[in-house]
Structure 1
């Protein structure tokens, strides 16, 4: 039975809606990553918080709407959820570990430290980002300020991809600097190497485009290093076209590298 639930737990509800296992174990950290906010103190101190099944609290609907109940609680560490079913479906996984459940949500203030680690890892793992290892200067305060600006903006946003409770990638959209350029947005996407081949980049791009459509953005732009063949293939698959070359635009490991300008015109949202 679906009931109205606290807004902050909607991403957790989406996670369980995608879960196929009869039993799922999530750490507290994974749950907080999915939700984007810390769990309340009661969740750390009292097992009863997890076992609630009646209002006024409605957090339990995040898993109960998908027919999961609480099996076991290791306070402060992990929670085991089990699916209520009279019969086990043939072929249904019995593994306790989530299997590639990806949640895409807007970044929140409490994500600041995780965003720093995410971007640092991506910069270290790839030579295809604007910044290299240890070149990007970030602090929790500066990232929180930027996230606050995104949350207040009507046409700029950052999304994070949470795969099985772990930060896997991000997509940032920033609109033009003037009213005449407000219909276009630049998009930057990054994915941790451990999550390559799991559709994280595709899902982030798709979510960003859907949101851009909703807010009336009609043109998306990006740049990609000329020899970044996997990214170039992905962008072309998603409908982006090469519009020009920026010769010798980056200096990476002592070599001058060309960037390609790519763009996609999307139908402007109707009112």
Structure 2
């Protein structure tokens, strides 16, 4: 069953607090003070070698992460962190199209560190992201995901994303070929 967020009447708030499984959760815009922890946490996800097409050596340093946060936000995008009991557990990013002809679209990227998956944080990040996109005039959210990431694909479909394309055998994860699946959501 798809989640219907089109009829949401509650205005979007960029800082949201809630309790999930007895833990304090905060979703909020990233700031410069988050750069080091974001860098460290993202490196942990990349080392798993199954979710993101990066290597620890290709990740930005602390200063580059600060610049990335600033640049995304200045260009009208979203860089959000999710904290659990005061620690960053993951992030969601929406990068605006870089040209005037694609400014109505954003590219979505998200990640959660091990130990914080399965808590419902992915759903909360998705609801936050879609709410932010609607409040900021976005017409379409695009993303790509490995075909082996069934959990993420099902989450995206639940929120209305549809498969728009696929690159066959685009990566080798743990010795198996996987496709890169492209999905989109019109708001």
Superposed pair shares fold, TM > 0.5: yes
Quick check: 1:245 aligned with 2:166?
yes
Q: Which ranges in structure 1 are unaligned for 5 or more consecutive residues?
A: 1-9, 21-97, 267-271
Give the one of 160, 172, 185 matched to 2:93.
172
The alignment status of 1:107 with 2:30, answered yes or no, reads: yes
For 2:98 and 2:166, the matched residues in 1 are separated by 22
**Residues 153/177 of structure 1: CA separation in 2 closer, same or farther (3 Å cut):** closer
Q: Distance in 1 between matches of 2:156 and 2:33?
A: 30
| 1:125-144 residue CA offsets vs partner (Å, 9 max, x unmatched) | 35121224x24332111111
CA offset digits 1:184-215 (Å, max 9, x no partner): 11101101120111111111111111111111
CA distance in 1, matches of 2:41, 2:113: 7
1:135 and 1:229 map into 2 onto residues whose CA distance is 27
Number of aligned residues: 174
Does 2:63 align with 1:144?
no
Listed one character per residue, the Cα deviations across residues 45-88 of structure 1 (whole Å, up to 9, x for unaligned) are xxxxxxxxxxxxxxxxxxxxxxxxxxxxxxxxxxxxxxxxxxxx
Deviation per residue, 1:69-109 (Å, 9 max, x gap): xxxxxxxxxxxxxxxxxxxxxxxxxxxxx922211001001
Output the TM-score relative to the length of structure 2.
0.84
1:80-159 aligned at under 5 Å gives the runs 99-132=22-55, 134-154=56-76, 156-159=77-80
Structure showing greater relative contact order (alpha-carbon pairs closer than 8 Å, 6 or more residues apart): 2
Which residue of 229, 233, 238 maps to 2:150?
A: 229
Once the 2 structures are TM-superposed, how far is the Cα of residue 221 of structure 1 from its aligned partner?
Answer: 0.7
Q: What whole-Å deviation, never above 9, does each CA across 1:140-184 have from its counterpart, x for those lacking one?
A: 111111112123222x12100001111111101011121111111
Please state whether the residue corresponding to 1:195 is helix, strand or coil: coil
SS in 2 for 1:142: helix
2:112 aligned residue (191, 197, 202) = 191
Larger radius of gyration: 1
Alignment match, 2:5: none
* Change beyond 3 A, Cα 1:19–1:198: closer
What do you get for the CA RMSD once the two structures are aligned? 2.1
Kept in 2, the 8 Å contact 1:120–1:136? The answer is no
1:262 to 173, 183, 186: 183
